[in-house]
Structure formats: structure tokens, C-alpha cells
Amino acid sequence: MKHFARWGLTMPATIAVVVLLIIPVAITIAATFAEPKGIFAPYVTFFSSGFRRAVLNRTLEVALVTTAISLTVGFITAYVIAQMPGRAKSIMIVAAVFPLLTGVVVRSFAWLIILGKNGILNAMLISTGIIGEPLSMLYTEGSVIVAMVYLFVPLMILTLVGVLEGIPRDLIDASASLGARPLMTFFQVILPLATPGLIVGAVLVFTGSFTSYATPQLLGGEKQMMMGTFLYQRAMVTFDWVGASTIAAIMVVLTLGVVLIMSRIARRLNPMAV
């Protein structure tokens, strides 16, 4: 009876995932193998193009750099918040969550105002005499990375705060009492126990930045095209549905591959983490 009850409770969610996620993705990927020119013809066409390879490499680079910076900034911030007393901790968590209450497009537009030639940052640099004329900071890979980090660091902080709070203080004190230095305590106690949160946060940031559309479109433009904007262009501008499906399939495979690699890293750092 309990077995059937368990299945009854999980069945609606399972059906929703299959119908709304798995089947559409499967149909999208299957469309790329129905070309008359050959089963793998769309993928050969994609990888034989230097421009398309450059778009893929740029997307991977931006996503990996964004993930690395977000991990570093998010971990440090989350660790500081986790050590704070109750009231201050609540205030800092609210401050970290607050940017998430604003839409992605609005936050990306804010960086247009900050990084533009007549923007806040250029005006400040000119007024202080650091530069003599405005810098071209928009439509560069750096502007996209900066905006991506701003978008995804709050997710990293929220993921890590709960994990770091769950680390017993007694373990850290015991490590210190046994003669371990702070750095050794960090690598042998704190980091292994925080590995699950780091992996979850890294997966969230990587998948979000790798598949992002609005931010690369607004801050990167055509010069810094990424896979999300390229997918939109092929589907909605040139109506190349097979090409768009090929891009989507490559993005799905690469995302799953990165997730598996991160899971393997987590197992090595902490066998109990995954």
C-alpha cells in the first residue's frame, strides 16, 4: 500500500517532467538526425565552420570564467555571512537576495548605464583624471562576464550559506586544538564538507551563464555572440530549425558533460558528497 501511495504522489510530477521537458528535448535532438544529407550532417556543418566553433568556444570560456569568479566571490561572502550573528546574518542574506527580485533584463540594462561611453564608470574615471577619454567597455567579453557574475553570485551565496552553516563548529575547534593551522583546517575540514554546495552552485551558475540569452544580447551584441543568441538567430531570424536544434542539442550534451565532471570532482573531494 505504501509503495502505491509513494508512486501516486510522485506520478504527477514525473508526468509533468516527461511531457514538458524530456519529450520536447528528445524531439529537438531527434530532428537533427533526420537530415537527408546524413545522420550527423548538421553536426559536421556546425563544427566545420570556424565562426560557429568560435561562438561555442566563447560561450564555454565565458561560462567557465563566470563560474570560477562566482565560486570564489560567493564562497568568501557566504563564509563571512555564515559566521555572523543572527540579526546581521538575516540582513546580509536579504541584501544578497534583493537583486534577484529584479528581472534579468533590467539588471542587464543597468550595466549598459554603468559601462557605456557616457556611463557612470567612465564619468567617474574621467572626473578623477585616471583616463582622458571614455573607454569602450560595452560589447566585449569582459562586460558580459561582469554582468553574468553580478547575476549569478546571489545564487551561489544562497546555495553556500546553508551548507556552511551546517558545518559543526566543534569540528573546526577540534581541528585547531589538534594543531592544524587555519589553512589546513580550510582544505581538510571546511572545503570537503562544503563540496555539495559548491557543486550545486557551480552547476547552477554554469548552466545559467552557458544558456543565457538576454545578457549576452544586450552587453555582447553581434561582436560577442554566444550560443543562446546564436540559437535565437537561427530559429527566429533565419528560420533554420535544424540548425537551431543542432545548437540546442550541443548545449544540452555539453551541459550534461560538465555536470558529470563536476559530480566526479565532488566524489574525489568528498566521497560522501554525491
What is the Cα Rg of the chain in Å? 23
How far apart are the C-alpha atoms of 267 and 232, rounded to whole Å?
36
What pLDDT, on a 0 to 100 scale, did the predictor assign at position 38? 76
Question: 259-262 — which CB contacts under 8 Å span 24+ positions?
Answer: 259/203, 259/207, 262/199, 262/202, 262/203, 262/206
pLDDT band of 182, cuts 50, 70, 90: confident
CA-based end-to-end distance of the chain: 31
pTM: 0.86
Nearest to 207 by CA among 245, 266, 246, 260: 260
Residue 82 Cα distances to 15, 88, 108, angstroms: 38, 10, 29
Question: For residue 273, is pLDDT > 70?
Answer: no
What pLDDT, on a 0 to 100 scale, did the predictor assign at position 6? 67
What pLDDT, on a 0 to 100 scale, did the predictor assign at position 236? 87
What pLDDT, on a 0 to 100 scale, did the predictor assign at position 246? 92
What pLDDT, on a 0 to 100 scale, did the predictor assign at position 270? 60
Residue 59 Cα distances to 43, 109, 140, 262, angstroms: 17, 20, 13, 18
Please give the mean pLDDT across all residues of the chain: 85
The C-alpha cell that represents 239 in the structure block: 528560420
Domain residue spans of the chain: 37-98+152-269
Note the pLDDT tens digit of each residue in 67-85: 999 999 999 999 889 888 8
Residues of the chain with pLDDT > 90, as a percent, come to: 23
Least confident of 143-152, 231-240, 260-269: 260-269
175 or 148: which carries more pLDDT confidence?
Answer: 148
The C-alpha cell that represents 87 in the structure block: 540579526
What pLDDT, on a 0 to 100 scale, did the predictor assign at position 1? 54
For 38-64, what is the mean pLDDT? 91
What pLDDT, on a 0 to 100 scale, did the predictor assign at position 2? 60
Least confident of 165-179, 213-227, 231-245: 165-179
How far apart are the C-alpha atoms of 273 and 196, rounded to whole Å?
5
Query: How big is the CA angle at 254 (ends 211 and 234), to the nearest 5 degrees?
Result: 50
Residues of the chain with pLDDT > 70, as a percent, come to: 95
CATH 1.10.3720.10 corresponds to the domain 37-98+152-269: yes
The C-alpha cell that represents 118 in the structure block: 557616457
Cα torsion through 87, 88, 94, 98, rounded to 10:
150
For 25-41, what is the mean pLDDT? 82
Note the pLDDT tens digit of each residue in 132-174: 888 888 888 999 999 999 999 998 998 898 888 888 878 877 8
